Amino acid sequence: MLEVDRGTEASGTIRAKVARHLSYYRTGQETIHPRVLWSVPDTRRAAQIVEVIQRLSPLDRQMFSVCLQGEVVESLAEEARS
């Protein structure tokens, strides 16, 4: 899954989105462990989203990654190789 972030939402909204992704995963509807890539406009925003993700359990953290908008293709290709 890809979350394209424009840096306009508050941390509370980001936490709510993270919770929705985790809730969806826990329904068991996915046959594989889903991954969510957050594409962000700058390093400041990346740090904000990483801060939210770091509050999760180590297992839940594995579901999320963050990259700059110019690095989306590279990040997706790297994920596909993993």
Identify the sign of the CA torsion 38, 70, 40, 59.
Answer: positive
Domain boundaries, the chain: 2-81
* Coil vs helix vs strand at 39: strand
Position 31 scores a pLDDT of 79
Note the pLDDT tens digit of each residue in 7-49: 999 999 999 999 999 999 999 888 787 899 999 999 999 999 9
Model-level pTM? 0.87
Using DSSP's 3-state secondary structure scheme, residue 28 falls into: coil
Tell how far CA 62 is from the center of its chain.
9
Q: Which residues pair with 4 in a beta bridge?
A: 39
- What interhelical angle do 43-54 and 11-26 show, nearest 10? 50
Please say whether the beta carbons of 11 and 48 come within 8 A.
yes
